[in-house]
Amino acid sequence: MAVTDSRGAAETSAAPRPAAGPPDDGRRRLGVPWRALTVLGSTAFLVGVWWLVAALRIWDPVFVPSPAAVADELVRTSTVHDGIRGYSGHLLHEHLWVSLRRILLGSAIGAAIGVPLGLLVGGVRVARWALEPGLTFLRQLPPLAYFSLLIIWLGIDESPKVWLLVIAAMPPVAVATATAVGGVHRDFVNGARSLGASRWQVTLHVVLPASLPEIFTGIRLGVGVAYTSVVAAETVNGVPGIGGMIRDAQRYNQTDVVILGIIVLGLSGIALDAILRWVQNRATPWRGVA
């Protein structure tokens, strides 16, 4: 009887347990509103603190303008008023589009250079020895360190601005790609080679897909670095452009325009990063899956 009971208990314990189902639909439905409410609440808190500091006039309004003053500038720079078109003859969305075009072009060229370079550095030992110090050197330089040199070489038109963003965006992409290539499991590579795959086939069909999630992360980082460099890129002949608008407003102590430009750059950066994250999730559905 004891043997039968123990056998039954063993069978019961060995029986497969039902897999955990998806989270409760009610909780999932509540997750989105709570997240949105948290974001809205934190934003409202920051704006409230800003409004309070401006209302108390702890600092002169020239230095700390009120949210209402910045909102007025949003309207003024987005419309034609008293015969004046926006800021410096360009509407706000035109400034933003020019800056985004520079950022996207510089980031795209930087990624187009950085991904093959990272594959080379991560996959070929001699290339790593030769190229890694140069990548590290570029990655450590602040944009203004070489912007003056680009102006001497290329003038003050679009070329130095775009190439500044290329140089800023390329190293993070290359480093992320090289790190991802170096982290590919050797069993995958050896398995492909044992089946007769050439070096090019291994790179194209094994190494590149395995590295793709980290490559996308590097591209997102590169775009972020380009965003932080656009104001520097537009310090010279940068109008139209958000960075040029900020720089020009700073000369005349138009702090409300400066803050407006910073907010517009930040919000557009959040939107662009969300788009890149969405593309990353769709292009690499295996990301995070063991």
Instruction: Report how far residue 248's alpha carbon sits from residue 241's, in angstroms, rounded to the nearest whole number.
Output: 10
Q: Is residue 289 very low, low, confident or very high in pLDDT (cuts 50, 70, 90)?
A: low
Mean pLDDT (whole number) for 47-56? 91
pLDDT in tens, 239-267: 899 999 999 999 988 999 999 999 999 99
C-alpha 123, offset from chain centre: 26
Q: 84-283 falls under which CATH superfamily?
A: MetI-like (1.10.3720.10)
Global confidence as pTM: 0.79
pLDDT surpassing 50 at residue 15: no
Q: What is the mean pLDDT of the chain?
A: 84
Q: What is the pLDDT of residue 12?
A: 47
Q: What 8-state DSSP symbol labels residue 288? A: T
> Residue 148's pLDDT band (boundaries 50, 70, 90)?
confident
DSSP states of 96-121 = HHHHHHHHHHHHHHHHHHHHHHHHHH
pLDDT at 101 over 90: yes
CA distance 71 to 75: 6
Long-range contacts of 136-144 (CB under 8 A, 24+ apart): 136/171, 138/167, 138/170, 138/171, 139/171, 139/172, 139/175, 143/167, 143/168, 143/229, 143/232, 143/233, 144/232, 144/235
**Phi/psi at 92 (5° precision):** -60, -45
Spatial separation of the C-alpha atoms in residues 256 and 103, rounded to whole Å:
24
Confidence (pLDDT) at 205: 82
> Taking the domains of the chain in order of start, what are their residue ranges?
36-65, 84-283
